[in-house]
A and B are shown apart, each in its own frame.
Chain A
């Protein structure tokens, strides 16, 4: 009897210390991030500091890599190595599936279950976080919307209203051009902004379901419906509503043309706001839904989702999982919302109060709430090689608008080869 009490006491003591060590992690934790732009980078550092404060005994290593380099080269080096970082930033959609289907992402179903995330993460985001077999491999933490950004002050000066339909949009472009502005600034030095153009035009002409099938490689690029998309795009090119020589500009260069007041509109993600001068933002920058081309077609919007995963070979799995639990927590979601205005994925974050003084975020939330379907982005929805060749093709189209058919025929050959291999 006495012995049993001792046993219980010993067990209790053991559990207590086990509990203590759990709340006081030791060892190493390596976190590599692609958040290299100034504002997100500051937030990233703040999150890491908060985590370190919670677990002061943890040896944490935090590295930031320029996002282009991160996604093009670094990530593969990490994953191929036997000693990868423990936590990495990454993207939902095809980009995540490319790794999970090769067994390169750790199963984090237990992290999801123990944090009860299925209760606070909307269904769509849960689906984005699973691999083909239904295991969780990803934690989505934030997303942002794409829309047509415009200079409110220029629109007011010319008496223009936010266009809702394609015809209204063309009319706005014409007035802007006549007034001496570049109606739409555009950038193609990095080719991805053209992926956005193609996504929106295809979603407005053929609908988001069709576009998903196309990016999944199920539809020919030579399909008449795809060709139709380019007739709309051509109207903008032929009328010189789009900035010429886009390939000479990075997306920031093009944003600067808008900031300088030379250009009036820009199809971009909400990260454009990070680039815009803070003191002028409220008075000058606004956005509207990409104009409706065919009112019968369901409305699709783009909301690329960012998050984190653990490489399958990560050495400090327990620490990595603790960090993921923190990254997916309400605390961090609120911090990200307050600091950089990113939309939290969790539905228990009170966006109405948090963004009370930020009408543009309310507008963005409404934009996505009204959408029938939400997609990631061309270079996240389709396989990397197809994305590169496709976006190269779109840039080529901008310089050679009459050659759309030849460009699409070439893309179709590539699609057959790329998706035939898989």
Chain B
């Protein structure tokens, strides 16, 4: 005898319940981890920003005081300004250099594979290693850079110019407040070029070769071809590159921390390093959280632009 189907259960609902159960199983663990490692610290940072907290005794609510103090602090203003300089250089120098390299290497020059790897290699190094190596390059007395400059001045002296090659040993790339920031950015640019190059190389591969052939038949070549065909077609990649460069420059911490620790006297300070110093040296985690909130808000704007761009691209592709 056949059992009658139970009237209360609608088979579609049963199926969706069944699905939901698996949804919980599959999403549960990642969501739990995400809540513990991302959402909780995120919310906690926002609440901490309104507190005075030394990391050891209980936190005290102090309202907007951290933010008020922050905008009056010279070190914070300098750090913000340096982050802006960092952004300006990052969206121009490594981007154009990376694009240039990609264009050249995409033509199929000799040893292009080797060259691609060589330019990409700095990115494989841990940033701390990059920072230490550049720290040695910039060393005033024994560093590579000053040795090269001294050698060059030596040649000038040999041909009769009135220069003292040993003077070059007094250039303190990381110790001179006028040079420190730009020297650190220089090392960061060296690292970033390879990254941008790879992004553009990937972009160039996706260009429609028929369109380019057609343009060539119509007589476009060299700069014209690049300016009016290739570069506009690379626009989505360019947006990604620019936004990544901005976010990377806002994230800049490791090179600064190792090479100068923001010094001398804040002349190469950036927000992330300032935040770490106030949190872990000064015992002021509430204040540091306030810096983190500001840094987050700035980064958030650019991340939104980036995500919009990526999503639009996804839609276009599907």
Residue A79 is within 8 A (CB to CB) of chain B in the complex: yes
Residue A395 is within 8 A (CB to CB) of chain B in the complex: yes
| B173 nearest CB neighbor, chain A only | A248
Most buried by A among B57, B277, B280: B280
Residue B170 is within 8 A (CB to CB) of chain A in the complex: yes
Residue A284 is within 8 A (CB to CB) of chain B in the complex: no
Is A399's CB under 8 angstroms from B264's CB? Answer: yes
8 contacts between A and B (CB under 8 A): A245-B175, A247-B174, A247-B260, A248-B140, A248-B176, A385-B282, A395-B265, A396-B177
Most buried by B among A247, A393, A417: A247
B49 to chain A, nearest CB (A): 17
Partner of A247, one of B52, B54, B69, B175: B175
| B259 nearest CB neighbor, chain A only | A189
Q: Considering the chains assembled together, what is the distance between the CA atoms of A388 and B280 in angstroms? A: 12
Residue B191 is within 8 A (CB to CB) of chain A in the complex: no
Partner of A76, one of B174, B261, B283: B283
Is A189's CB under 8 angstroms from B265's CB? Answer: no
Partner of A188, one of B52, B170, B175: B175
Is A246's CB under 8 angstroms from B175's CB? Answer: yes
- Chain A residues in 8 Å Cβ range of B261: 189-190
Partner of A191, one of B52, B57, B173, B263: B263
Q: Considering the chains assembled together, what is the distance between the CA atoms of A253 and B55 in angstroms? A: 34
Q: Considering the chains assembled together, what is the distance between the CA atoms of A80 and B264 in angstroms? A: 31
Known: A102-B56, A247-B172, A253-B139. A388 touches B277 (CB 8 A): yes
Is B176's CB under 8 angstroms from A245's CB? Answer: yes
Is A245's CB under 8 angstroms from B265's CB? Answer: no
- Chain B residues in 8 Å Cβ range of A76: 55-56, 280, 283
Residue A168 is within 8 A (CB to CB) of chain B in the complex: no
Partner of A102, one of B57, B172, B180, B263: B57
The contact string, 1 if C-beta is below 8 Å from chain B, for chain A 196-220, is 0000000000000000000000000
B264 to chain A, nearest CB (A): 4
The contact string, 1 if C-beta is below 8 Å from chain A, for chain B 162-202, is 00000000111111110010000000000000000000000
* A residues in contact (CB < 8 Å) with B: 72-73, 76, 79-80, 98-99, 102, 104, 188-191, 244-249, 253, 257, 262, 384-385, 388, 392-393, 395-396, 399, 410, 417, 421
Is B281's CB under 8 angstroms from A247's CB? Answer: no
Dominant secondary structure of chain A at its interface with chain B:
helix
- Chain A residues in 8 Å Cβ range of B174: 189, 247-248
- Chain B residues in 8 Å Cβ range of A247: 172, 174-177, 180, 260, 263-264
Q: Considering the chains assembled together, what is the distance between the CA atoms of A76 and B57 in angstroms? A: 11
Q: Considering the chains assembled together, what is the distance between the CA atoms of A385 and B281 in angstroms? A: 7
Dominant secondary structure of chain B at its interface with chain A:
loop
- Chain B residues in 8 Å Cβ range of A385: 281-284
A385 to chain B, nearest CB (A): 4
Q: Considering the chains assembled together, what is the distance between the CA atoms of A146 and B54 in angstroms? A: 31
Is B176's CB under 8 angstroms from A388's CB? Answer: no
Residues of B134-166 whose CB lies within 8 A of A: 138-141
Is A393's CB under 8 angstroms from B139's CB? Answer: no
- Chain B residues in 8 Å Cβ range of A249: 140, 172, 175
B140 to chain A, nearest CB (A): 5
Residue B221 is within 8 A (CB to CB) of chain A in the complex: no
Residue B74 is within 8 A (CB to CB) of chain A in the complex: yes
Q: Considering the chains assembled together, what is the distance between the CA atoms of A210 and B277 in angstroms? A: 29
Residue B266 is within 8 A (CB to CB) of chain A in the complex: yes
| B276 nearest CB neighbor, chain A only | A73
Partner of B170, one of A73, A79, A189, A245: A245
Residues of B45-95 whose CB lies within 8 A of A: 52, 54-57, 69, 74
User: A248-B175, A385-B284, A395-B264 known; 9 other A-B pairs, CB under 8 Å?
Assistant: A73-B280, A190-B261, A245-B171, A246-B175, A247-B264, A384-B281, A385-B281, A392-B265, A396-B265
Most buried by B among A72, A73, A76, A388: A76
Q: Considering the chains assembled together, what is the distance between the CA atoms of A76 and B52 in angstroms? A: 16
Is A79's CB under 8 angstroms from B177's CB? Answer: no
- Chain A residues in 8 Å Cβ range of B170: 244-245
